[in-house]
Each structure stands twice: as C-alpha cells, then as structure tokens.
Amino acid sequence: MAFLDSLRWQRIALIAAAGAAFAGVLCAVLVPPRYTARTTILPSETPSAVAGLTMLAAGGAAEGSGVPSMLGGSSALARMEQVLKSQRVRGKVMDEHQLADRLGLTQAGALRWLEQATTISVIGKSGLAGGAGLSIEVTCPGTSRIQRWLGSSGGFSTDEAKQTCADMANEYVSALDEYITTASVRAAGDTKRFIDKRMAEVQTGLNDTEDQLEQLQTEYLLIAPDSKASQLVEAAKVKGMQYAETVAQVQEITNSLDSARGRLTGESATRISQETTQRNPIIVSLEEQLASLRADLATQTAEGKSAKHPDVAATRSAISDVERQLDEVTQDVLQQITRQPNPVHDALLQDATRLEVQLAGARARRDKIGQQVAEAEAALRDLPPVAREYVSLERRRQTQTETLTALTRRSELAAIQEQQESSERFVVLDEAVAPERKSGPSTVKSAALTFVLIAGLLVLGLVYRRGLFADYDTSEQA
C-alpha cells in the first residue's frame, strides 16, 4: 500500500517505461524471429498448346468462347487451393527440405508444423466472385539471440529461415505444377490407349467394308462412284441431318415457349395459341416456300454462282419477301391479342407470340423434311438388291472413315498432351524471395503493449488507493 501511496504520474511513466524496455529486451533476446515469404499465382489467360490445337481441330467452334484454360474461373481456384492444402503436396515440400530431421519431429509432426506455417488464401476476392488468384505464404522461425549466445542450434538459423521460407513457398508452386501435369498426362495416356483400341476396331471394320465393296464392284461392275446409288445415299444423309436439326429446333422452341407461357396468364397464352392455330395453314405454306427457296439458294451457291448473279439475287429477294410475310403474321397475331379486353402490352407477350409462330413454322418444316426423308428411303428401297447392298456398304464406309479421322486427330492431341513437361494452367505473378526483415514478433509493439498495460494497472491502483471509486459510490448513494 505504501508503494501505491508513493506513486506519482512521473513515477508511473518511469515504471511503465522500465517495464516496456524489459519486455522489449526479453522479446528481442528470448523470442525467435519469424520470417515470411510470399508467392502469387494466377490462372493462365492463354490457352495451352493442346487447347489451341483442339480449338483448331474443331474448326474454330470454340472461337470467341473466352475460356482461357481448363483451370479458369472460381472452381479452378478452389481445386488448386485444395491441391495445395493436400497432404500429398505438403509431404513433397516436407521431404524436399527434410523438415522432420531439421526440426527433430516425426513425419506427422513435421506435416502439422508445415500446415501451421503455411497460409494459402484467395486474392482479389469480391462479392460472389471467386477471386483472381492464390497467395501462398510460408513462415519460418529463426534462432533467437539467447540461442546463438549459448551456442544452441534451433531448427533454422536466421539466414536459413529467410531462404527456407522462400524456397518452400516456391516449392508449393512446383508441386502444384507437377501434380496437375502428372494428372493431365495420366488422363491423356488413358485416353490415348482407349482411342488407339477403338481405332483398331474401326480400322478392322473399315477394311472389311472396303473388301466387300471391292468384291461387289468386281463382280457386278459397280465401279462408278457417282452412280445413282451414291447420289441417293448422299441425299438421304443430307435430309437425315436436316431432319435431326429441325427436330432439335422444335424442341428448343417448345421449351422456350413453355417458359414464356408459364409467366403469362392462362387467358393470354390461350388467345395466342388460338390466333396462331387459325393462321397455321398460312404459316405452313410460307415455311414450305421458305424451305424450298433456301434449298434453291444452296444449290445455286454450290454451282458457283456469286451473290451478284441474277438467279441468286432473285432467290434472296424471294426469301426476304417470305420472311417479311411471316413477320406480318406474327404482328397480326399480336394485334389481335392486344384488341381484346385487358390487353398485355409488354415484351413477354411479344416473345410468346413470336415463339408460337416460330413453333408452327418449325413443325411444318419438320413434317416436310420428314416426308422428304421417307421419300429418299423409299427411293433407296426401290433399288435392286445389289445396289441396296452397295448403298449400305458405302454408307457404312463413309461413317467409319469419318470416325477414324476424328479418332486419329484426337489420338494425336492426346499424344502431344502426354509429352507435356508443364501443365501451362497457371502463371507465377510474384515469385517468393528471401525476406530482408523479420515478420514478427515486433519488439516495438511488445514494448508499447507492456507500457500501456503496466501504466494502466498502476493508474487503476493509484485511483483505488486514493478512494476515488469510494467517493464516487458515496455520492451516488447520496
């Protein structure tokens, strides 16, 4: 109590400063310094060599897709983060730097130490976005001054701690690249073996088909490749493709129309359907004309006629006229709907009307092309038995040849990917370097915190001793 009675503000400041200095000395002498190195990786924005070849082989089908790589996007960052945090990657880093021996720990203990020393986080994260890349930070403790004075060696010396934290951060990146490359190469190898097996089967079937065709050509003198049978095969193939495309278009429009109807009132949807049904014969007629005109245009273009040719210009003009008439039918249906009580004037009504008319037209095209497919199949059936067999074999040979070409291209791409030495899935934005200064603990912060703590305790003791709290309680009771 006499100590508290003797306290003055100057003495409190002096005692707190002495305690802060003592704490700073203890921190600087006894606590090992920590050093942190950081590296940053970003998903690659340029396609890998295999991805570029795949896009080229696909004829530019993926052009403009804007997909940078297989590991682009938030899901890719999540996968990379999980790989970096996996025991496999940590074990590789641990073995590379012999952490268990250097730290005097077991394998499991060294793994736990490395897990606590590593911080992997997403950078550039904003709202619902998945982030722009990953940051890898590794912290290593050095040797305290007291250990150096006593000649005791800790896990790492100061210089070793600086360099090791940078090396381990970079080793994480190397392990990630090795893991992705190994996984890609293994997958490419499995794919190539499967494709090679399938190629052998297709090649065997193609050889058998060509032998049968050669036997027919030799026995029945069917040596003209541009014979009526070949023409019928090509016509049936084209019509079949057109029919499949039209069926898919009908399904797509039906799905869109169902979605639009679901957001309309039942009365509006019913009126649109009724008005379109009333004009269905007109729509069917216009769609048949449009299909015929487009077929004529394709024939004229195949014959080498330019866009300025009178026949091509006339056909294009006729197509535009029929499309204009179809648009007028759509507008007519929309006007009929809006004349009814409680009209619906919004874009949804217009979309539903347009889809209803398109669906009627697509169904008309499907039925027309289906009829043409049936006629082509009937023409094939009317051929003599030998010709029909020739047609069947020719069709099978074309299919097998196209399949073999596609498999060969895919096998070559898989072979290239199997020979890759790097994943090319990410780029290193900032490589980890040995830090010049320690990341902690801060001697200044420790001293400042000690000063505030001691000064606060002494001030509270002084206030209590002088009875300021008691005087406050007495005044409150009065």
Q: Give 195-223 pLDDT, tens digit per residue.
A: 888 889 989 998 998 888 777 767 665 54
Q: Are strands 426-430 and 133-141 parallel, antiparallel or unpaired?
A: unpaired
Q: What pLDDT does residue 261 have?
A: 66
pLDDT-wise least confident of 18-32, 82-96, 259-273: 259-273
Q: Binning pLDDT at 50, 70 and 90, where does residue 292 land?
A: confident
Considering only residues 251 and 471, tell me which one the structure prediction assigns the higher pLDDT. Answer: 251
Residue 165 reports pLDDT greater than 90: yes
CA 45 from centroid of its chain's CA atoms? 12
pLDDT-wise least confident of 197-201, 310-314, 339-343, 386-390: 339-343
Are 423 and 181 in contact by the 8 Å Cβ rule? The answer is: yes
CA 256 from centroid of its chain's CA atoms? 26
Q: Which residues contact 189 (CB under 8 A, 6 or more apart)?
A: 414, 418
Q: What pLDDT does residue 69 have?
A: 40
Q: Binning pLDDT at 50, 70 and 90, where does residue 468 land?
A: low
Report CA-CA distances (Å) from 441 to 116, 143, 229, 231, 446: 16, 13, 87, 85, 8
Residue 471 reports pLDDT greater than 60: no
| Most confident residue range from 220-229, 258-267, 360-369 | 360-369
Q: Binning pLDDT at 50, 70 and 90, where does residue 137 land?
A: very high
Q: What pLDDT does residue 37 have?
A: 93
Residue 135 CB coordination number (10 Å): 18
Give which of 237, 369, 374, 234 is closest to 290, Cα–Cα.
Answer: 369
Q: Average pLDDT of the chain? A: 75
When pLDDT is averaged across residues 398-424 and rounded to a whole number, the result is: 78
Residue 248 reports pLDDT greater than 70: yes
When pLDDT is averaged across residues 386-408 and rounded to a whole number, the result is: 80
Distance in angstroms (rounded) separating the CA atoms of residues 411 and 196: 7
Give which of 176, 170, 165 is closest to 86, Cα–Cα.
Answer: 176
Q: What pLDDT does residue 421 have?
A: 58
Q: What pLDDT does residue 462 have?
A: 73
Residue 392 reports pLDDT greater than 50: yes
Instruction: Report whether the peptide linkage leading into residue 341 is cis, meaning its omega lies within 30 degrees of zero.
Output: no
Q: What pLDDT does residue 24 have?
A: 77
Amino acid identity, position 140 = C
Are 93 and 172 in contact by the 8 Å Cβ rule? The answer is: yes
Q: What is the DSSP letter of 304?
A: T
Residue 291 reports pLDDT greater than 90: no
10 Å CB burial of residue 304 (0-12, 13-18, 19+) is exposed
When pLDDT is averaged across residues 360-375 and rounded to a whole number, the result is: 80
Here the tokens at position 192 are: 């190539």
Q: What pLDDT does residue 169 have?
A: 93
Q: Hey, CA dihedral for 278, 279, 281, 287, is it positive or negative? A: negative
Q: Hey, CA dihedral for 293, 250, 395, 411, is it positive or negative? A: positive
The DSSP element (H or E) to which 361 belongs, if any, is helix 347-381
Q: Binning pLDDT at 50, 70 and 90, where does residue 157 land?
A: confident
Q: What pLDDT does residue 118 have?
A: 94
Give which of 420, 422, 436, 437 is closest to 173, Cα–Cα.
Answer: 422
Report CA-CA distances (Å) from 1 to 7, 454, 466: 10, 17, 11
Residue 158 reports pLDDT greater than 90: no
Share of the chain above pLDDT 90, in %: 11
Q: Are strands 133-141 and 118-123 parallel, antiparallel or unpaired?
A: antiparallel
Scored b (16 or more CB within 10 A) or e, 18-46 reads ebbeebbeebbeebbbbbbbbbbbbbbee
Residue 159 reports pLDDT greater than 90: no
pLDDT-wise least confident of 44-53, 157-166, 412-421, 440-449: 44-53
Full-prediction pTM beyond 0.85? no
When pLDDT is averaged across residues 285-293 and rounded to a whole number, the result is: 77
Residue 71 reports pLDDT greater than 60: no
Residue 398 reports pLDDT greater than 80: yes
CA 461 from centroid of its chain's CA atoms? 63
pLDDT-wise least confident of 136-150, 253-267, 439-453: 253-267
Q: What pLDDT does residue 154 have?
A: 62
Domain-wise residue ranges, the chain: 223-409
Distance in angstroms (rounded) separating the CA atoms of residues 390 and 212: 9
Distance in angstroms (rounded) separating the CA atoms of residues 52 and 61: 12
Here the tokens at position 127 are: 């709202």
- Sheet containing 133-141, strands listed edge to edge, beginning at the edge strand earlier in sequence: 118-123, 133-141, 34-43, 426-430
